Structure 1
Amino acid sequence: MAQATLPHHLPLFLALSLAVHVAQAAEPAQSNPHDHDPVDLAAVEVRATPLRGTADDLVRPVEVLAGARLEAAKSNSLGGTVDKLSGVQSSYFGPGVGRPIIRGFDGARVQVLSDGLGSGDVSTVSVDHAVSIEPFLAEQIEVLKGPATLLYGSGAIGGAVNVVDGRVPEAATAQPLQGRAELRGGTVNDQRTGMFRLDGTSASGNVVFHFDALHRETGDYDIPGHAESARLLAEEGETPEPGTGGTLANSSVRTDSAALGVSWVGDRGFVGVGYSLFNNRYGVPGHAHEEAHDHDHDDHDDHDDDDHADEALHGEEGVRIVMDQRRTELRGGLDRLGPFESLRAKLARTEYTHTEFEDGEVGTVFDNTSTEARVELVHQPISGWDGAFGVQWSQREFLAVGDEAFVPGSEARDLGVFWIAEHGFFEDRTQLEIGLRHDRNEVDVADGAAIGPDRDFDTTSLSAALRWNLSDAAHLSFGLDRAQRSPTAEELYSNGLHVATGSVELGDPDLEVETANRTEIGVHWHNGPLELAASIWHVRYDDFVYLAETGIDEGDGPVRAWTQQDARFDGAEASLDWTFIENRTGAWALRVFGDVVKAELDGIGSRDIDVAVPHGDHAHHYEVSLPNSGNLPRIAPARVGGELRWETAAWRASVGAVRYAEQEDVAEYETVTPGYTLVDAHLAWHLDTPGGNAVEVFVDGSNLLDEEARPHTSFLKDLAPLPGRGIEFGIRGFF
């Protein structure tokens, strides 16, 4: 249960006191050869782009997590792992589900990648569908802010998150055999996690292998108070019984993941194959399919109806989800090909099944089989331009059977070609990057004559980015993009009760391509121990696709219709890193960051649409007037955060806090979300053994003030708060 008897500020005081006490007794820093040591994140090579460079060198805005910073940030979900980067937050549908939100965009507008290839899951279809990537096994995570359509196509119009796990080796290991293992436990949810990774190279140096495995189990997690928010309890006239609350029912998770990869590595390249599996079983808290009403759709752009959602999500029995994915990959690379510097080819086949159990019975089954191939060819400089050509192809077969099968089966095929290049001017004090991509997207729907015709789309994206080096310490960056996205199958063909949202969801088979025009200005200054980065950006959408509330309710729940209208997004973000002390007591550093997003429809007056609600063999038609202006729903609130870090050869400690502001800029039928503050702390002790191995013991604290936190981006905000105060502890071994 949540430890509500502890004074709110006591954990924070103890963490600070411990860090200061240890610092005073610390020995001088010594070098450490292991890859978990503090890493200069600005110097880590970014693999998401074929023109390899570091986060500090690239013209486009990119943030990277690796090394000890990644270890401290790792969470059970990918969204929770990256949500402390400026401009990045997480969706939330219980502890098993969390998808990255980049500058207010998520769902079908943010691409999640496994080392350059799509994850192959259906996490964009509904918010209760998890991403099939395990962040605890990642080597580094890269977040591409702004449109990444140039590199990854239509689904990356809002950005991309690339997880590098090294499951298909591309180079020989530093030692013949090396790896790591970790055991951890947690108090807030009785967590038990174990992971193991092993990499090795044959005596000849040509055969390289990789193996990893992870198992995680958690129970229902502790919360401060009751699952239902005060607003919901007051609305329903309910008074909780004394002594109840403190635990969120049906919030347990069990995850199993494993992978095996083998490569042949030569002087000029490599070829390798890998096979992985991912199985995730998790509960959906505050969520039962009572009277055919249930959980919510993942696309960030639909409108929220809190009154209907609150009623629809109540129930006495829980919903459990079993997600299973099997993935086969083939990768290869060759260097020094005459006029070309390198060739990289990737192919992945993913078989994915997502089964939803209601009261122990199978409710809905989602099957998704996808194949994706990508080829990148980096050419030698042409008139001073370094560049790369690329071709990307994918095919997806999707089928849903059961209560939540509001979207018909479909087959989607995408083919894209792109070119990206950069050139330095004025003795490389100015760098210019340009790019062009064209995609052909086709969607063939089952029973197309009854629901709508098959559709095909052509999308073209153009990009230009300029970096101006004012000095060795400072540079300005400017970005211009025109990116396009084709509608998804659920936006086109939804036609019935979406149990997830407790609503009737209607697609529009006549939707057209949406176009985003982005401008961005950024500044970066780095002088010794002080680093400052800031940017402001604006995105104007033509024909923005979103799910509109119609105001109709025929008994199955509110009727919502996919439609289009111009929209605009404005935002800003900034971060400061300052190593203000570095002496025999260790290195002391301060990080401060903040971000804000404003998103609204950009029109005047209203428009009329025809809404046809299906009823057996016929439909009821309504003429509905929709506003052309107003806020978009579930936009991440403004926030500001800070962290104090301390490091020596043997010790690492930090304490931080993030303040999430009250979100008052809400859409119609959406309620205001109160602000909250999350405080965390981390402590780790490291020991190198005489044999060259290492061991590390760690303790991590989260939500140390035991605050009731309800993310505005969550459909379950009134039914499932974030976990309360928790302590995680464990041991890592490196060999």
Structure 2
Amino acid sequence: MESPAHHLAGPAVRARTSLAAALVLALGAFTAQAQDAPAANVPPDSDPRHPDQAEDPHVRDLDAVRVSASLFGSTADQLSRPVEVLSGEKLDEVRAASLGETVAGLPGVQSSNFGPGVGRPIIRGMDGPRVAVMSNGLSSADVSTVSQDHAPAIEPFLADQIEVLKGPSTLLYGSGAIGGAVNVVDGRIAETPIEGVTGRAETRIDVGDKDGQTSMARLDAGNGGLSIHADGVYRNANDYDTPRGRQPNSFIDTKSGAFGASLAGDWGFIGVSVARFNDRYGNPGEPGDPAAGEPGVHLEMHQDRFEMKGGLNEPWGQGSGLRYSFGHTRYDHTEYEGSQAGTMFKKNANEGRVEATFAAANGWKTAVGLQGNDSTFQAIGEEAFVPRTETTSVGVFAVAQNAWGRFSTDLGARVDRVRYDTDTGLSPDFTPLSLSTSFGFRLDEHWRLTANLDHAQRAPAEEELFADGPHIATLAYEIGGAGLDKEKANQAELGLSYRNDRVDAKVSAYYNRYDKFIYLADTGAQWSFEEQGRSLPIRQWTQGDAVFHGFEGEATWHLADSDSTGAWDLHVFGDTVRARLKDGGNLPRIAPGRFGGELRWQASAWRASLGATRYMRQDKVATDETETAGYTLVDAHLAYHLDAGPTSWEVFLDGSNLADQDARVHTSFLKDRVMLPGRSASFGVRMFF
């Protein structure tokens, strides 16, 4: 069949509970050894429920956790840029099958949705190739930006902490972070010496409208110099139910694990890790028809990843440092219709990064860095709508930071060179430039004002440049724009925070003007499947000016804290984003505004919470896009913690969508056919030692 480009410009498997038991028993054996071993030298931002960390203030103050994505080792509340950190018990309560769903409760952050197996973070309305998904500061190197039914190769259950950088983050991570970045820190390569044995294990069972189980285990051991690490996750979930019935082809089956080793001391550290990620999940957008013998479509993903990283402490004097990292990834996934293999997507990638930091006597901290990436992507089969593409990029950046009394500033610049080489003979290259400045001013001991100004540029992604074929995930025939130019963003943001013994609060407003914003435009033409007797709309990647603006805020009131009543906290939040083309018209699949609240209680061994989030009706839609009704999700958490010597146990019960609401995710291409699960609960046990 002739391409429209010539005519236009341009049965889930059973849950393996025996594995869960084996994981817990295996770690239990190590616990006996740990009881006689010296206490581990645990980093200050590690899990706070370990007995050695019982008084760690990070349990309730995530802003005090060190942000690894900050070159100068700053904590979240020291940064002028908007950063959110999930760790400790709060991360445990929100861990989900996908990275997007795990972070979706943070202000300004929501998730894409292509069933429970696929969820990519959406930050302030930005998603796909505008939001970088990283593992320990290096790209996840999957193909989740190529199509909305492709999952990121990241396992949230193995994360020590998850950092969300909101707003342009191109300065540190390149043009693919023009809308923000999500960095998953897993601790597989220990950066500080470990003595003795520590670890954790968890198994949970989903009941109600969800039917599945997840088990994980982690072990860290060391002798004060050499440290080793091992982890693993197994997840199995059958098709879930919604308030309107079963959601066909929504199953998940995931296996993931890694080993790591490192040498660490006062001089610094060096280490390596190897990881494997296997994922099998259904596409509920193509459920098939079992009654008619028509199988549904599912995806089988495989990724092998090797990482090496190291650092030197104060190689050029006090306050200086050198860090380096390298990652090699082999990725493939195949889309199956029943047992018949369809399209295969493959990607091999190498990435390296070096950062050097310095400190001057006049208070300035500076850093320079170099980042390079080389990858090869190809698709083979009926839906190979993007040609084989080799991508090479290199970027250099420099940042500086200083503070004078109540005033602080951060300055930075970065330039990249990105080149594509395709089998079709196209070889465009781009030179994105990023400039950034941020200011912080402490009005008094409670109030702090921040301001950010950013100019960021993004090179078009492979699918935006070279697409030419039917793309079933978007239900369209996509045509790339080989002549697309760099996308340019100019953002201004103003933030205000307040903190005292009773209240923690922050609010921010932002305005982002895009020049040559890249989007998929409807041409009005149709492409016919001659063999299937149906047609798809023909859409072409094009450019136009766009504006994104919005605000977000959250506040926590510490209502009471006493031995008799326990600690009571009330948390409220809200966010909204508006996105439109400058010449008129709304951009599609923009996350709706929302607001919510949560009441938390903690006393002795118990903690509990009850919360609700209202998602507003989204009626500011693009041409031919349907509206989405509003809904309210109610959730609850209950946990009992028990310390038994160096071992801690935690029994927990989590509830989701307790009001059994009809909920459709507006950011999803499948929102008119796929709903979120109805009333569900997860019951499980965690062990720490």
Corresponding residue SS for 2:662: coil
Picking from 669, 675, 687, the partner of 2:630 is 675
Equivalents in 2 of 1:108, 1:143: separation in Å? Answer: 16
| Alignment check: 8 A CA contact 1:34 1:734 kept | no
- 1:342 aligns to what? 321
- 2:284 aligns to what? 285
Equivalents in 2 of 1:393, 1:134: separation in Å? Answer: 25
Q: CA deviation at 1:359?
A: 2.6
* Residue 183 (str. 1) matches residue 207 (str. 2): no
Structure 1 range deviating more: 272-281 or 39-48:
39-48
- 2:680 aligns to what? 726
Corresponding residue SS for 1:500: helix
Please list, as runs of the form range in 1=range in 2, the aligned pairs for 1:608-619 lying within 5 A after superposition. Answer: none
- The superposition leaves residues 3-30 of structure 1 with CA deviations (integer Å, 9 ceiling, x where unpaired) of xxxxxxxxxxxxxxxxxxxxxxxxxxx9
Equivalents in 2 of 1:100, 1:106: separation in Å? Answer: 7
Equivalents in 2 of 1:644, 1:583: separation in Å? Answer: 16
| Alignment check: 8 A CA contact 2:50 2:688 kept | no
Please list, as runs of the form range in 1=range in 2, the aligned pairs for 1:294-443 lying within 5 A after superposition. Answer: 316-339=294-317, 341-381=320-360, 383-425=362-404, 427=405, 429-443=406-420
Structure 1 range deviating more: 373-382 or 32-41:
32-41
Equivalents in 2 of 1:261, 1:82: separation in Å? Answer: 26
Aligned CA distance change for structure 1 residues 125 and 289 (closer, same or farther; 3 Å): farther
Q: CA deviation at 1:39?
A: 4.2
Please list, as runs of the form range in 1=range in 2, the aligned pairs for 1:94-493 lying within 5 A after superposition. Answer: 94-173=115-194, 175-187=195-207, 188-202=209-223, 205-225=224-244, 246-288=245-287, 316-339=294-317, 341-381=320-360, 383-425=362-404, 427=405, 429-448=406-425, 453-493=426-466
Q: CA deviation at 1:33?
A: 3.4
Aligned CA distance change for structure 1 residues 289 and 192 (closer, same or farther; 3 Å): closer
One-letter amino acid of the counterpart of residue 552, structure 1: A
* Residue 638 (str. 1) matches residue 638 (str. 2): no
| Alignment check: 8 A CA contact 2:50 2:648 kept | no
Q: CA deviation at 1:255?
A: 0.5
TM-score, with length taken from structure 1: 0.84
One-letter amino acid of the counterpart of residue 692, structure 1: P
Corresponding residue SS for 1:559: strand
- 1:706 aligns to what? 660
Aligned CA distance change for structure 1 residues 98 and 573 (closer, same or farther; 3 Å): same
Equivalents in 1 of 2:156, 2:588: separation in Å? Answer: 28
Equivalents in 1 of 2:361, 2:541: separation in Å? Answer: 46
- 2:581 aligns to what? 601
One-letter amino acid of the counterpart of residue 33, structure 1: D
Equivalents in 2 of 1:496, 1:247: separation in Å? Answer: 32
Equivalents in 1 of 2:86, 2:50: separation in Å? Answer: 21
- 1:15 aligns to what? none
Picking from 608, 614, 637, the partner of 1:659 is 614
- 1:311 aligns to what? none
One-letter amino acid of the counterpart of residue 206, structure 2: G
Equivalents in 2 of 1:337, 1:437: separation in Å? Answer: 24
* Residue 647 (str. 1) matches residue 667 (str. 2): no
| Alignment check: 8 A CA contact 2:238 2:250 kept | yes
Aligned CA distance change for structure 1 residues 289 and 729 (closer, same or farther; 3 Å): closer
Equivalents in 2 of 1:675, 1:732: separation in Å? Answer: 35
Corresponding residue SS for 2:149: coil
Equivalents in 2 of 1:507, 1:285: separation in Å? Answer: 27
Corresponding residue SS for 2:431: strand
Q: CA deviation at 1:284?
A: 0.7
Equivalences, count:
628
One-letter amino acid of the counterpart of residue 661, structure 1: M
Equivalents in 1 of 2:643, 2:469: separation in Å? Answer: 60
Equivalents in 2 of 1:117, 1:557: separation in Å? Answer: 37
Q: CA deviation at 1:499?
A: 2.8
Equivalents in 2 of 1:474, 1:359: separation in Å? Answer: 59
- The superposition leaves residues 473-523 of structure 1 with CA deviations (integer Å, 9 ceiling, x where unpaired) of 111001100000001111111112223223211111110001000000010
* Residue 522 (str. 1) matches residue 541 (str. 2): no
- 1:717 aligns to what? 671
| Alignment check: 8 A CA contact 2:248 2:287 kept | no
Equivalents in 2 of 1:282, 1:315: separation in Å? Answer: 20
Corresponding residue SS for 2:118: coil
Corresponding residue SS for 2:246: coil
One-letter amino acid of the counterpart of residue 328, structure 1: F
Aligned CA distance change for structure 1 residues 159 and 315 (closer, same or farther; 3 Å): farther
Q: CA deviation at 1:267?
A: 1.9
Q: CA deviation at 1:649?
A: 2.6
One-letter amino acid of the counterpart of residue 509, structure 2: I
Equivalents in 1 of 2:294, 2:496: separation in Å? Answer: 53
- The superposition leaves residues 574-602 of structure 1 with CA deviations (integer Å, 9 ceiling, x where unpaired) of 10111111112210000000000000001
- 2:19 aligns to what? none
One-letter amino acid of the counterpart of residue 177, structure 1: V
Q: CA deviation at 1:222?
A: 1.2
Please list, as runs of the form range in 1=range in 2, the aligned pairs for 1:63-102 lying within 5 A after superposition. Answer: 63-102=84-123
Equivalents in 2 of 1:502, 1:540: separation in Å? Answer: 29
Higher RCO by CA contacts (8 Å cutoff, separation 6 or greater): 1
TM-score, with length taken from structure 2: 0.89
Consecutive aligned runs of 4 or more in structure 1 exceeding 4 Å deviation? 34-37
Aligned CA distance change for structure 1 residues 569 and 382 (closer, same or farther; 3 Å): farther
Q: CA RMSD in A?
A: 1.6
Corresponding residue SS for 2:242: coil
- 2:536 aligns to what? 557
One-letter amino acid of the counterpart of residue 181, structure 1: A
Aligned CA distance change for structure 1 residues 726 and 492 (closer, same or farther; 3 Å): same
One-letter amino acid of the counterpart of residue 659, structure 2: L
| Alignment check: 8 A CA contact 2:51 2:646 kept | no
Q: CA deviation at 1:34?
A: 4.5
Q: CA deviation at 1:316?
A: 4.7
| Alignment check: 8 A CA contact 1:184 1:730 kept | yes
Unpaired stretches in structure 1, ≥5 consecutive residues:
1-29, 226-245, 291-313, 604-628
Aligned CA distance change for structure 1 residues 286 and 493 (closer, same or farther; 3 Å): closer
| Alignment check: 8 A CA contact 1:115 1:165 kept | yes
One-letter amino acid of the counterpart of residue 282, structure 1: Y
Q: CA deviation at 1:315?
A: 11
- The superposition leaves residues 281-313 of structure 1 with CA deviations (integer Å, 9 ceiling, x where unpaired) of 0001131589xxxxxxxxxxxxxxxxxxxxxxx
| Alignment check: 8 A CA contact 1:39 1:66 kept | no
- 1:686 aligns to what? 641
| Alignment check: 8 A CA contact 1:288 1:358 kept | no
One-letter amino acid of the counterpart of residue 587, structure 1: A
Corresponding residue SS for 1:255: strand
Corresponding residue SS for 1:522: strand
- The superposition leaves residues 65-88 of structure 1 with CA deviations (integer Å, 9 ceiling, x where unpaired) of 111111111111111111111000
| Alignment check: 8 A CA contact 2:612 2:635 kept | yes
Equivalents in 2 of 1:418, 1:529: separation in Å? Answer: 40
One-letter amino acid of the counterpart of residue 522, structure 1: G
One-letter amino acid of the counterpart of residue 74, structure 2: G
Q: CA deviation at 1:32?
A: 5.0
| Alignment check: 8 A CA contact 1:631 1:667 kept | yes
| Alignment check: 8 A CA contact 1:39 1:67 kept | no
| Alignment check: 8 A CA contact 1:31 1:649 kept | no
Corresponding residue SS for 2:384: coil
Equivalents in 2 of 1:420, 1:287: separation in Å? Answer: 47
